[in-house]
Amino acid sequence: MIHTYPLIPSSGNTQLRVFSGIPDCDYRFSTNLGARESFTLRGLDFYYSGSVATSTDGTFQLTYTVESLTEGCVILEGGTQQLYEATAHSLFLRPSHAITKYWYEDEVQKSNRSWAFVRNLANLLATTRVVWREDSGDTVALDLPARNHDLYELSTGDYNVQVADHNLTSIELRAGGVYALLIGQSHGTFVSRLIEVTSPNSMHMLWLVPQYVVMTLGEVMFSVTGLEFSYSQSPPSMKSVLQACWLLTVAFGNVIVVVVAELKFFDSQASEFFLFAGLMFVDMLVFMFVGLLL
């Protein structure tokens, strides 16, 4: 199974992405990123650094130079850029009609509604319109100027993208995906490339149904049984107190869940679930032992 969890930049780490909106030009970047210090962007291309460790003050001073590998292409200057921890930084190269370098903070987290995030990175005139239309009903989902590089949330499905009233490409947006659409011009023709910043979900949401059924059955058998036991086995004057004690144990369990989840002891949520399952197994053994004593 393909793992599609987004790699979120955590404390002490940052991320760098570089997008090129120049279809017919190749560029070589030389940076101070250590093992990933040199890379080449060929046409409409994309580079991702992975996690980069920051210094003790939570920053990384990126230094880079850009070398054109294609004759006749615009010369891009290097420079420096301050990268901050727990932040994904992106650089978009668009030299034809605007400033040559555009920096922004990227979003790599999936949509909470299982939709898709999209961003246009167009190296076009500012007056050019980029239009996203739903393939099913021809409804306009986005109608943006070329210089608008904001992130938008769209429902999943098929879309037709038009640039200056010309059909550009057809795109399928899948649940959980984060996409960047690179758009440029090559010999008078609009060209594009869709980049997956975060991979879409690889499993259907209906796979959650069996898990919720099992969890609900376990909750019914556990909670109802505990309440009934605390009520029936307690003296009349202590029934409310013992039921409150039972609910207090449930509250302590919820506190444990909150502490484990917020402190992020594990990188994978599956490891958290295995921890909770192990605690429940120990709890079951304790109940069995107490039951045998009684």
Average pLDDT over residues 8-16: 92
Chain segment 113-167, per-residue pLDDT in tens: 889 999 999 998 888 999 999 988 779 999 999 989 999 999 999 999 999 889 9
More confident residue, 174 or 7: 174
Provide, rounded to the nearest whole percent, the portion of the chain with pLDDT above 90: 52
Give the pLDDT confidence score for residue 271 in this predicted structure.
85
Chosen CATH of 110-202 out of 3.30.1360.200, 2.40.10.10, 2.60.40.1120, 3.40.190.100: 2.60.40.1120
Average pLDDT over residues 76-82: 89
As annotated, the residues of the chain forming the CATH 2.60.40.1120 domain(s) are 110-202
> pLDDT-based confidence at 84, cuts 50/70/90?
very high
Average pLDDT over residues 256-275: 83
Res. 1: pLDDT tops 50:
no
Res. 191: pLDDT tops 70:
yes
Rg value, the chain, Cα: 27
Average pLDDT over residues 189-195: 96
Give the pLDDT confidence score for residue 96 in this predicted structure.
53
Chosen CATH of 7-106 out of 2.60.40, 2.50.20, 1.10.12, 1.10.530: 2.60.40
> pLDDT-based confidence at 48, cuts 50/70/90?
very high
Cβ density class 113-124: b for 16+ within 10 Å, e for less: eebbbbbbbbbb
**Contact by Cβ (8 Å): 173, 159:** yes
pTM score, whole prediction: 0.75
**Contact by Cβ (8 Å): 225, 291:** no
Largest interatomic CA distance in the chain: 92
Chain segment 220-265, per-residue pLDDT in tens: 888 888 888 888 888 888 989 988 998 898 898 889 888 888 887 7
For residue 171, the cross-strand partners are 159
Q: Distance between CA 141 and CA 143 in Å, rounded?
A: 7
Give the pLDDT confidence score for residue 59 in this predicted structure.
96
Mean pLDDT, rounded, of the chain:
89
CA distances in angstroms from 188 to 68, 124, 174, 191, listed in the order given: 21, 11, 31, 9
- Cβ neighbours around 95 below 10 Å, total: 17
Q: What share of the chain is helix, strand, coil (3-state, %, to 5)?
A: 30, 40, 35
